[in-house]
Amino acid sequence: MAELTVIKSPWFDDFPALNTQVYEKRLRYLDTAATAQTPNAVIDRMTRFYQNDYASVHRGIHYLSAKATEDMEHVRTQVSDFLGAEASRNIMFTKGTTEAINLVANSYLRPLLSPGDEIIVTEMEHHSNLVPWQLLSEFCGATIKVWQLNKNNELDLNDIKDLISRRTRLISVTHLSNVLGTLNSIKEIVSYAHKRNIPVLVDGAQAVMHQKVNVADLGCDFYVFSAHKLYGPTGTGILYAKSRHLERMVPWEGGGAMIDQVTLPMGTSYGQAPWRFEAGTPNIAGILGLGAAIEYIESAGLDKIAAYENQMMEYLVESLSQVNGIEIYGNDDNRIGVVAFNMKGHHSFDVGVFLDRYGIAIRTGHHCAMPLIKKLGQSSVCRASIGMYTQSSDIDALVQGLNRINQLLR
Ligand code: PMP
């Protein structure tokens, strides 16, 4: 397949940054898992807000403020429909995945935790889905239990059986690994956990851009993601929470927009969900940008994007495996969007810096997943990741670069 394939993305021209020159070379952007490039539709929507419609939300009675409020609340409905949530009130705007997880830790779990209670996390989590639980456990005297990966570096449901106890209060698991690209069997995990009355949080940061997600179908209690991985802007994210949890969650951050009545010295009462979890002026432009991103990918069609990306991943893995001395991590039968690798005799940082000089952007390091990198027996790995705009020529450039490393850096 590798030698006869030219695969061009029908969406490439929608992303202006892809025409950037880096060191006088055409940019080859293979770092989508860190952040996805932004299409014109999103840039235009945010520009239009700043140029024509700019005002703050919620507190104004004037025309522009009312319009900004209406437009922002429309995005909440869009996100709710996009995720298949019960209603728009189950959707909270946050700064990103990280803040959404911290919100669940503090608003949902903190009031329920007693010393000796347990939280289960997996060995393949991003630090954003580890550290908030560690901080909380330290504060409440709870214990973190680690669901380790099997020899194929995957989660095996049999291995969680010994971890679960009557003190387990939450399982927090990624939908898709940001290092291995492994898609986890969330439905099975949720079904197993729910039989034991244990809620499940799913970190969807890497999953939402690659496939259709439906929280009702997954059955999860919480689902979180960041707009910037979904072709939207940075600084905006989403927490979906099931209604029965929403009722029990307490406000975490205090400030404007989340109150009902404020009295002194005490006695303040709070507004309704979801606004009671959104203190302060939100990232209005970012939220509108997220709405435009959802509209954009829905009009492209998530099924079409997934089919295109599958083809590209096949090409990427096959091309990479022809490079001398390459070691690819993860499971060939279960890998979406990202591929992690190292080259024998070359440190990943050297590989990354060398490729950069040819305009090829990959990521190197621990990828905010130190426990997983350790499990792989490495201190650092290279990661190439794709999006709807990646083309076979980008992968050809990567492979050429890696072959050059083998020739030049001995
Ligand atoms: N979880 C996963 C799986 C991720 O890939 C990332 C981003 N790399 C995060 C969480 C954190 O996302 P953010 O920094 O946008 O909050």
Supply the residue whose CA is at minimum distance from atom 12 of ligand 1.
97
Q: Do 153 and 284 belong together in one domain?
A: yes
pLDDT of residue 289: 98
CA angle (233 as vertex; 338, 276 as ends), nearest 5: 110
Supply the residue whose CA is at minimum distance from atom 14 of ligand 1.
98
Q: Which of 178, 225, 283, 372 to mutate to test the pocket of ligand 1 (most atoms within 8 A of CB)?
A: 178
Give me the phi and psi of 241, to 5 degrees please.
-130, 140
Q: Do 257 and 308 belong together in one domain?
A: no
- Taking the centre of ligand 1 as the mean of its atom positions, its distance from the CA of residue 206, in whole angstroms, is 7
The CATH number of whichever domain residue 321 belongs to comes to: 3.90.1150.10
230 part of a folded domain: yes
Query: How many Å apart are CA 408 and CA 354, to the nearest integer?
Result: 10
- In angstroms, the Cα distances linking 85 to 183, 216, 242, 317, 404 are 21, 6, 8, 35, 49
Q: Do 338 and 387 belong together in one domain?
A: yes
Structure tokens that stand for 38 in this block: 């932004």
103 part of a folded domain: yes
Which residues form ligand 1's pocket by a CB distance below 6 Å? 96-98, 126, 128-129, 174, 178, 203, 205-206, 226, 368
Q: Which of 98, 125, 131 to mutate to test the pocket of ligand 1 (most atoms within 8 A of CB)?
A: 98
**Domain termination residue (choose one: 299, 323, 353):** 299
Regions of the chain short of the pLDDT cut 50 = 1-2
Q: Do 306 and 291 belong together in one domain?
A: no
Give me the phi and psi of 52, to 5 degrees please.
-120, -35
* Residue (of 331, 181, 180, 163) closest to 172 by Cα position: 163
2 part of a folded domain: no
- Taking the centre of ligand 1 as the mean of its atom positions, its distance from the CA of residue 205, in whole angstroms, is 5
Q: Do 176 and 290 belong together in one domain?
A: yes
Query: How many Å apart are CA 372 and CA 263, to the nearest integer?
Result: 48
Query: How many Å apart are CA 260 and CA 362, to the nearest integer?
Result: 48
1 part of a folded domain: no
Under 8 Å between Cβ of 119 and 145? yes
Distance of CA 126 to the CA centre of its chain: 10
- Taking the centre of ligand 1 as the mean of its atom positions, its distance from the CA of residue 34, in whole angstroms, is 8
Q: Is 375 exposed, middle or buried (0-12, 13-18, 19+ CB in 10 A)?
A: middle
- Taking the centre of ligand 1 as the mean of its atom positions, its distance from the CA of residue 67, in whole angstroms, is 31
Query: Can you tell me which atom of ligand 1 is nearest the CA of 98?
Result: 16
177 part of a folded domain: yes
Question: pLDDT tens digits, residue range 180-194?
Answer: 999 999 999 999 999
Q: Do 201 and 288 belong together in one domain?
A: yes
* Residue (of 278, 239, 211) closest to 69 by Cα position: 278
pLDDT of residue 1: 46
pLDDT of residue 33: 98
Q: Do 238 and 377 belong together in one domain?
A: no
Q: Which of 93, 97, 338 to mutate to test the pocket of ligand 1 (most atoms within 8 A of CB)?
A: 97
pLDDT of residue 409: 81
pLDDT of residue 2: 47
Q: Do 316 and 292 belong together in one domain?
A: no
Query: Can you tell me which atom of ligand 1 is nearest the CA of 34?
Result: 8
**Domain termination residue (choose one: 248, 271, 299):** 299
CB atoms within 10 A of CB 362: 23
Residue for token pair 């496939």: 211
Query: How many Å apart are CA 119 and CA 167, to the nearest integer?
Result: 8
35 part of a folded domain: no
410 part of a folded domain: no
Query: How many Å apart are CA 160 and CA 123, to the nearest integer?
Result: 12
Supply the residue whose CA is at minimum distance from atom 8 of ligand 1.
34
37 part of a folded domain: no
Is 368 assigned a catalytic role? yes
- Taking the centre of ligand 1 as the mean of its atom positions, its distance from the CA of residue 338, in whole angstroms, is 14
DSSP string, 70-98: HHHHHHHHHHHHHHT-S-GGGEEEESSHH
Q: Do 153 and 202 belong together in one domain?
A: yes
Q: Do 365 and 281 belong together in one domain?
A: no
> What is the domain extent for residue 306?
12-30+301-405
* Number of separate domains in the chain: 2
CA angle (257 as vertex; 251, 258 as ends), nearest 5: 15
Q: Do 324 and 287 belong together in one domain?
A: no
**Domain termination residue (choose one: 257, 282, 299):** 299
The CATH number of whichever domain residue 205 belongs to comes to: 3.40.640.10
- Taking the centre of ligand 1 as the mean of its atom positions, its distance from the CA of residue 305, in whole angstroms, is 21
Q: Do 47 and 24 belong together in one domain?
A: no
Structure tokens that stand for 285 in this block: 């432009």
